[in-house]
Amino acid sequence: MSATRVPKANRPPTPQKVANLRATFTQYEVTLRGKTARSLAVLQPATVEKVGEFARNLGVCEVVLSQAAALRIERIDPNRITLTDLAACVKAVGPEGKQELVLDLDSLQQVKRNPFKILRTIAMDVFMLTFPKLGRKVANKKYSFAFCVHPRKFQDVINGFPMIKIVPNIFGLREAVLKRLPPFRLSEITLNGETGILMCVGWDRGMFEKSEIKHEAQVEKNKKQENDLNQAQKKIVRMAVLAKRWGVEYIGLGALLPRYSNYGYCLHPGEQDKITKDQEEIAGLTVTTGHAYTVLVISKMVNKLRETILAVRAEKKPSVPAKEPIVAIVGAAGSTGACSARKAAADGARNILLVDMEKKTKVARLDSLKKELEGIYEGLTVEISTSVEALKGADIVVVVSSAPNVIIKSEHLKDGCFVVDDTQPVNVCPQISIERKGHVQVLKVLAPVKGIFPRYRFDRHTPLTDYVFTCLADLIMRVKTTLKKDTIGAVELEAVEELDRVTAENEIHVFGEDDFFGLGQEKVSIEDIKAIALFAA
């Protein structure tokens, strides 16, 4: 009888590997009880390294991991395990006053889903849409704000709505059911005594998959795309109506919802009547796309990076005037990209590169923006390009493009380059963080928000901890400051400057040198930034 070959991934770790791993965690002052060390040894080295660094930095006293959970986690790409995921696994154990932190990895990537609770929530939301007065009496609940999202792909639907699997996937039946799903509440979000909701619009492949890769001009020319856009706006208006009936005063649009809501204009008072037959006006609802806050955070990140690069260059060559860093904006023909370029110029950047797709309308916008900036700011040099190859000379690359896949790769960047990434899905190759570690740094655009407590039950695309995506941070800032002003349409520099003033007046921390995070949401220190800046000095 021939011996059965054990797959490499399932082979038990060697005693030496387990001993080395236990010694490493002992140096971190982290205890590994029972078979935890053996279970950790099953994981990919990058995963173990990430867990170890997280445990050491947070002061965790013990790590717990069962063998069953290790086999599940072993298959997860280490780049997809974020600090948000690990933070959700930390528990405080022990008597009050003597509590210690334990990192329980058995709960990693586990999202609790109660199908009956989901169905009950949807049923209540349908009841609220159909019988609003009776619904308010039955629910006896009110929310102050709502953050609206949508599934990007069909797998997101399966993750958050697993009971759909019981519907036969024949003749498009499953998608037909999902397409007719009304908007519904995903979960509650608590913020310093204020309770809000995370809302989701129903799945529609034509709305968020096919349309995503179409250019706006094509949407206007193609009848099917026009229909998809109209259907999207109907769903968004319906979601806003539901939010209003739950007592919501502030509503934020996340992901692709700003684009398909005409950047929030379809929720403007009276406009929804042109889209649906529903005559109820969404009066008093403050709507924000979050783009202004995104530009504000990006500008503060760019300013801190420019300041650091200039300081490093001046220190390295004190006898020579420090060369102004080149700031590249990828997606500069778009609303967020154009405003980011204007803000960078207003903040003192003097070498700006505008990059976008090689299309007549986009090139015309780049030309117009170049003339505008050079006409306002003396000594400003603005270059334009339709190729990512032009990024090879940039010191700071701001990515606000909306491509459906990766467009920026390692070969497009020089050593000492910083990439400020605000794309979903990610347009920057994740391998850059591994292949060019210590030479190129990819930074995610996240905003610090203290006191937020989510009960998130959908998936892990959106981190909902003390650092959140800027579109959600914009909404939270308005709730905190009671700023009753819509931010819809193209982003204007005046709106960004107003947010800067309002946050300063209300002592809201927008961004600082301790708020840099990598592509995997790992912490990046200012010392790391300075070390990489040396390559560009």
Q: Which of 235, 258, 288 is the last residue of a domain?
A: 288
pLDDT of amino acid 458? 43
36: domain range?
8-107
Question: What's the distance, CA 532 to chain centroid?
Answer: 24
Residue 463 lies in a domain: no
Name, in order, each residue with C-beta under 8 angstroms of 289's C-beta and a sequence gap of 6 or more: 252, 253, 258, 261, 263, 264, 471, 487, 488
pLDDT of amino acid 299? 98
Residue 457 lies in a domain: no
Residue 289 pLDDT more than 70? Answer: yes
Q: Bigger pLDDT: 204 or 302?
A: 302
Q: Which of 75, 107, 139 is the last residue of a domain?
A: 107
pLDDT of amino acid 155? 65
pLDDT of amino acid 114? 65
Per-residue buried b or exposed e for 244-265, using 16+ beta carbons within 10 Å of the residue's own CB: bbbbbbbbbbbbbbbbbbbbbe
Rounded CA separation 363/371 (Å): 12
pLDDT of amino acid 403? 79
pLDDT tens-place string over residues 175-207: 788 888 889 898 888 777 788 998 988 766 655
What the block records as the tokens of 133 is 């007065």
pLDDT tens-place string over residues 331-340: 999 999 999 9
| CATH code where residue 350 lies | 3.40.50.720
Rounded CA separation 90/67 (Å): 19
DSSP string, 377-397: STT-EEEEES-GGGGGG-SEE
Q: Which of 72, 107, 142 is the last residue of a domain?
A: 107
Comparing 371-375, 433-437, 525-529, which segment has the lowest mean pLDDT? Answer: 433-437
Highest mean pLDDT among 102-106, 107-111, 163-167: 102-106
Are residues 327 and 391 located together in one domain of the fold? yes
Q: Which amino acid is at 132?
A: P
Rounded CA separation 204/178 (Å): 7
Domain count for the chain, please give it: 3
Residue 492 lies in a domain: no
3-state secondary structure of 87: helix
Going 265 to 151 to 443 to 463, the CA torsion angle's sign is positive
pLDDT tens-place string over residues 62-108: 888 887 777 767 766 677 677 767 776 777 777 766 778 888 887 77
Query: Which whole number is the average pLDDT over 112-125?
Result: 79
pLDDT tens-place string over residues 458-491: 444 444 456 788 998 999 999 988 888 888 989 9
Q: Which amino acid is at 246?
A: W
Name, in order, each residue with C-beta under 8 angstroms of 384's C-beta and a sequence gap of 6 or more: 332, 353, 354, 355, 363, 366, 367, 370
